[in-house]
Amino acid sequence: AQKITQTQPGMFVQEKEAVTLDCTYDTSDPSYGLFWYKQPSSGEMIFLIYQGSYDQQNATEGRYSLNFQKARKSANLVISASQLGDSAMYFCAMREASGGSNYKLTFGKGTLLTVNP
Amino acid sequence: GAGVSQTPSNKVTEKGKYVELRCDPISGHTALYWYRQSLGQGPEFLIYFQGTGAADDSGLPNDRFFAVRPEGSVSTLKIQRTERGDSAVYLCASSAAGTYNEQFFGPGTRLTVL
């Protein structure tokens, strides 16, 4: 089974509107972290937001927020007030703490977001 | 300060040749990672260095792949006898000691094996 599933290959949003990018994960590890990265056409992976499995509140970073639903194993990214510069690939990733490999990120296949003017 | 840098940005080689890909991490970052991103996929873990030693090389696909970090800073990923299936973007990332919450990625090297 895939550890990270991003079911939306592509998403479109109008400028200034909010958009939600879906991510579900699969782990039996009680301690894990969830990440979202943005990859523009230049290729560089840009860290956006992090959520720890024990964090009580949903993470927020500026216009980015993470809708963490632990029981459903979902970690959706919400981008508010979309901007043209938000057009990019978005990757959800997980780091599991067990087995001493708490540094290794496992990525989903990504969602291509296009912001329309 | 400067971010993670990778050279070359693009590398085209012929099947069977040897290539070296270089990564210069953020100054002071002791942890360094290599990932490979095939077309249409997310990055896949290859190897992790803590300081000079490879703490985990379980993601290297086979023994044609090797990476070094002799002085605990710059790392080189080496691929022998390249195959067409090695074509991908090779990403390097680094993070500060004691924290794995944020890995800072470089722009990647796009390797094309003809």
pLDDT for res A103: 80
Q: CA geometry: angle at A91 spanning A87 and A92, to 5°?
A: 135
pLDDT band for A81, please (50, 70, 90 cuts).
very high
Which residues of chain B make contact with A105, given a CB cutoff of 8 A?
33, 35, 43, 45, 103
Is residue B7 within a helix (H) or strand (E), and if so which, with residue range?
strand B5-7
Closest CA to B3 of B25, B23, B21: B25
Backbone angles phi, psi at B85, to 5 degrees: -70, -10
Closest CA to B73 of B100, B44, B106, B50: B50
CA distance A15 to chain B (A): 25
Res B83 pLDDT > 90: yes
At B2-49, the pLDDT tens digits run 899 999 999 999 999 999 999 999 998 989 999 999 998 999 999 999
Contact B42 A33 (CB under 8 A): no
Contact B105 A33 (CB under 8 A): no
Give the nearest chain A residue to B89 (CA atoms): A43
Q: What is the mean pLDDT of residues B76-82?
A: 98
pLDDT for res B54: 86
R_g (Cα) of chain B, nearest Å: 13
Contact A103 B105 (CB under 8 A): no
d(CA B38, CA B86): 9
Backbone angles phi, psi at B86, to 5 degrees: -80, -10
d(CA A116, CA A19): 12
Contact B93 A110 (CB under 8 A): no
Q: What is the mean pLDDT of residues A55-62?
A: 94
Nearest neighbour of B43 by CB, restricted to A95, A101, A107: A107
Res B98 pLDDT > 70: no
**Does the beta carbon of B42 lie under 8 angstroms from any beta carbon of chain A?**
yes
pLDDT band for A43, please (50, 70, 90 cuts).
confident
d(CA A53, CA A41): 31
Which residues of chain A make contact with B95, given a CB cutoff of 8 A?
103
- Give the mutation candidate from A31, A44, A48, A102 for the B interface (greatest B CB count, under 10 A): A44
At B50-70, the pLDDT tens digits run 889 888 899 999 999 999 999
Q: What is the mean pLDDT of residues A30-34?
A: 91
Q: What is the mean pLDDT of residues A35-46?
A: 92
3-state SS class at A25: strand
Backbone angles phi, psi at B42, to 5 degrees: -85, 165
Residues 53 through 112 of chain B touching chain A, CB cutoff 8 Å? 55-56, 59, 89, 91, 93, 95, 100-108, 110
pLDDT band for B97, please (50, 70, 90 cuts).
confident
Share of chain A above pLDDT 70, in %: 96
